[in-house]
């Protein structure tokens, strides 16, 4: 895989550190958390998660990302309606940034493995969206049908998946052609290493994430850094990528619609 992660399905290990001494090589890695462990961990975090995000500056970072993608979408989305899927929605911070930035009505679907996070997301989003549909589900096997959404959000969740290729293939499937993937991924840094240790997640640099995104079929992503957004700029990077229009033979159409 070349990203410090080994194995295709759980248990997958993340490389933490390694050293060579003569003919000896010592590598330390940590197994990623499985789905049930993750769900329990996030269930416990659900009430304090919004505070954690605020402390690190993520609401402002997500607003930047939302502004960037909505400037691309422009007023083209049918009748000003926007259909958004937030995959790994957590308490709904990224969806809220999109809803706040979009002038028209927004329908939000959200999936998460943690039921308590969904309860918090419902509290935050109901009342400010046109329709809200939240489900306990895994983003590597989305319950949504093909070509349903104008936008798929993935805020700090690709890090948790054993195989980001599968998660991104799902995001691609449920997006309509011309729709946008909006992601934030923990970057490789001291902060990323600390988060990796604490949450048993991977971190990835922009080249690696761009490779994942392009492999799923998206156009090359715009990389959005969070400079000026507090600690968020040390911890993660944003990505905006479009699902291209393709003809029946799967050939990309040159015209941007």
Ligand X SMILES: C[S@@+](CC[C@H](N)C(=O)[O-])C[C@H]1O[C@@H](n2cnc3c(N)ncnc32)[C@H](O)[C@@H]1O
Return residues touching ligand X (CB under 6 A).
38, 42, 53, 88-90, 93-94, 111-114, 117, 138-140, 155-157, 160-161
State in angstroms the smallest separation of the CB of 152 from ligand X.
12
- Residue pair 73/81 in contact by the 8 Å Cβ criterion: no
Minimal distance, residue 192 CB to ligand X, in Å:
13
Reference 106, options 50, 153, 68; nearest CA is 153
In angstroms, give the least distance from the CB of 223 to ligand X: 18
Contact indicator for 219, 241 with CB cutoff of 8 Å: yes
Residue 23: CB minimum distance to ligand X, A: 39
CA proximity to 121, closest of 83, 92, 152: 92
Q: How far is CA 170 from the centre of its chain?
A: 12
**If you write DSSP's letter for every residue of 204-226 in order, what string do you get?**
--HHHHHHHHHHTTPPPPEEEE-
Nearest residue (CB) to ligand X, 62 versus 218: 62
78 versus 143: smaller Cβ distance to ligand X: 143
Exposure of 209 by Cβ count < 10 A (0-12 exposed, 13-18 middle, 19+ buried)? buried
Q: Two tokens at 75?
A: 């007023």
Task: Record the tokens describing residue 121, joined without a space.
Answer: 């997301």
Q: How far is the CB of 257 from ligand X (least distance, A)?
A: 29
Instruction: Name the residue nearer to ligand X (CB basis): 15 or 119.
Output: 119
The residue (of 82 and 154) whose beta carbon lies closer to ligand X is 154
> Using CB atoms, what's the residue nearest to ligand X?
90
Distance CA 136, CA 182 (A): 21
Cα atoms in the 13 Å half-sphere on the side-chain side of 4: 22
Return the number of the residue (90 or 221) whose C-beta is nearest ligand X: 90
* Minimum CB–partner distance for residue 211 and ligand X (Å): 20
Q: Closest distance between ligand X and the C-beta of residue 106, in Å?
A: 16
- State both tokens at 73: 């979408």
> Which residue's CB is nearer to ligand X, number 29 or number 45?
45
By beta-carbon proximity to ligand X, the closer residue of 117 and 129 is 117
Measuring CA to CA, which residue among 86, 48, 91, 42 is closest to residue 66? 86
């Amino acid at each position: 895989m070349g990203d410090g992660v080994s194995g295709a399905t759980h248990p997958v290990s993340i490389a933490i550190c390694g050293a060579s001494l003569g003919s000896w090589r010592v590598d330390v890695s940590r197994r990623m958390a499985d789905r049930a462990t993750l769900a329990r961990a996030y269930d416990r975090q659900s009430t304090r998660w919004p505070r954690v995000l605020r402390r690190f500056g993520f609401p402002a970072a997500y607003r930047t990302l939302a502004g960037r993608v909505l400037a691309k979408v422009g007023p083209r989305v049918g009748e000003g309606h926007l259909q958004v899927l937030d995959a790994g929605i957590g308490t709904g911070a990224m969806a809220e940034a999109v809803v706040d930035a979009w002038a028209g009505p927004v329908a939000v679907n959200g999936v998460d493995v943690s039921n308590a996070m969904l309860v918090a997301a419902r509290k935050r989003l109901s009342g400010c969206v046109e329709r809200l549909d939240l489900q306990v589900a895994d983003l590597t096997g989305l319950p949504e049908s093909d070509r349903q959404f104008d936008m798929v959000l993935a805020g700090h969740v690709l890090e948790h998946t054993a195989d980001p290729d599968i998660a991104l293939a799902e995001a691609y499937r449920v997006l309509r052609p011309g729709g946008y993937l909006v992601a934030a991924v923990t970057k490789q840094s001291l902060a990323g290493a600390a988060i990796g240790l604490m949450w048993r997640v991977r971190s990835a640099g922009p080249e690696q994430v761009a490779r994942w995104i392009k492999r799923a079929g998206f156009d090359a992503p715009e990389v959005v850094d969070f400079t000026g957004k507090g600690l968020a700029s040390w911890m993660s990077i944003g990505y905006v990528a479009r699902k291209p229009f393709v003809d029946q033979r799967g050939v990309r159409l040159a015209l941007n619609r």
